[in-house]
Structure 1
C-alpha cells in the first residue's frame, strides 16, 4: 500500500466516522455519542474509532466542525448570488428554514440543538458552538448594516435588536418544526422574517 493511498483511506474512514456520529448526535445529542455505539454502527474497534480523534471531546469538536461547514454550505453560501442587504438576508433565512424542514438524515438545525445542549456547560465544546453562532450573527449584522447603508432600512434601525429578533424567529421555527411538528411553521417563519425586513 502506498503512503498516499493510506492517507486517503485514513481520511475517508475519519469522514465516515464523523458522518455516522453526526447522524447519531442529531437524535441523541453530542453528549449521547459513545465510542462503543459508533464502533458497533461502523463495525470497527473502539480503538479504531477514537484513534482518529484522541478523545470523546475531540470527536464532538470534529462533529461540530462538520455541522458548521454543512450549515455554511447550506445557508449563507446559497445566498451569495442575492443582492447584499435585505434580499440576501431573506434568501439566507429562507435557506435556513428549508434546512430545518428537510430531512437530510440530520433533523432540524444541528447547531441550534447543540446550543441548547451546551448553553449551560462551560468548556471547549460550548466555546466552539458559540464561535459558530457568533459567526452567523456577525453575518446577519453585516447584511443589516448594508441594508441601512443602501437605505433599504431606516438609518435609525437598531441592527443589534433586529438581528436578535431575526435569530429569534429562526429558533422558534426550529422548535415548532422539530418539537411540535407544525407544518405551518416554515410559512409562519418566512412571514415573520419578511415583516422584520420591510422598512416601515
Structure 2
C-alpha cells in the first residue's frame, strides 16, 4: 500500500466519525427541544440512532459532554438564523430591528418545537456545573451582540442620548420570554402580534423622533415663484 493510501485512510475514517457525531448531535438537539437537556441520555440516543451505547459514548465520553455539544450546536444555528443575517442591515436602528425580527421568526417556530435556552434555564438555573456554564455563556454572547447593536444605534443618533442600553435589552428579552409563556404554555391567540407591538412601543419611547418636515402648499410655492420670476417646482 502506498504512503498516499495510508494517509488517506485515517482521513476518511475521521470524516466518517465527524459525520456520525454531527448526526447524533442533530438527533439529540431535536430530542432536547421536546424533553429538555436533562432528558438526554446515551441510552436514549443509542436507541434513536440504532447504535450501541458504547458507540454513542465513544463520541462524547460523558452525558455532560453530550449536553454541551447540543448547547453549542443550538447556539451555532441560532447565530446562523438570527445574528449573521442581521449584519446585512445598516448599522444602527435598522440592524436592531433586523435582529429582533429574526429572533421573533425563530421564536415563532420554537413555540411548537421548544427553545433550548428557555427550557435549559429552567433546568439549570440553580445547578452549578459545566452544562449551566455553557448555556449561560451562549445566552450572554447573544445578549452582548444585541446590546452592541443598540449601542451602535445610540452612537448613530437614532436612539436617545440618555438611553440605558441594558434596560432596553432587558425589555426586549422580556418580550421573548413572555411570548413563550403566553403562546406555548397558555396558548393565547395574538401573542406574536402583541410581542411585535411591544417592540414598537419600546422603539417609540427610546428612538429619537424624526424631525418635522414643513410642507409648503403648492399655492404658496406658485406665489413665491412668481415673485422671484422662476418657474414653479
Using the size of structure 2 for normalisation, the TM-score is 0.80
Equivalent-residue separation in structure 2 for 1:177 and 1:70 (angstroms): 22
Structure label with greater radius of gyration: 2
More helix by share: 2
Query: Which residue of structure 1 aligns with residue 42 of structure 2?
Result: 35
Tell me if structure 1 keeps the 8 A contact 2:151–2:165: yes
Tell me if structure 1 keeps the 8 A contact 2:34–2:114: no
Of 131, 134, 137, which aligns to 1:131? 137
User: Is the deviation greater in 42-51 or in 189-198?
Assistant: 189-198
Tell me the CA shift for residue 89 of structure 1: 1.4
Please, which runs of 5 or more residues in structure 1 have no aligned partner? none
Of 192, 202, 221, which aligns to 1:196? 202
Tell me if structure 1 keeps the 8 A contact 2:120–2:135: yes
Q: 4+ runs of 1 displaced by more than 3 Å?
A: none
Of 59, 62, 65, which aligns to 1:55? 62
Query: Which residue of structure 2 aligns with residue 17 of structure 1?
Result: 24
Tell me the CA shift for residue 99 of structure 1: 0.7
RMSD: 1.7
Equivalent-residue separation in structure 2 for 1:192 and 1:108 (angstroms): 22
Tell me if structure 2 keeps the 8 A contact 1:169–1:192: yes
Matched, 1:107 2:128: no
Query: Which residue of structure 2 aligns with residue 142 of structure 1?
Result: 148
Tell me if structure 2 keeps the 8 A contact 1:100–1:107: no
Query: Which residue of structure 2 aligns with residue 186 of structure 1?
Result: 192
Structure scoring higher RCO (CA < 8 A, sep ≥ 6) equals: 1
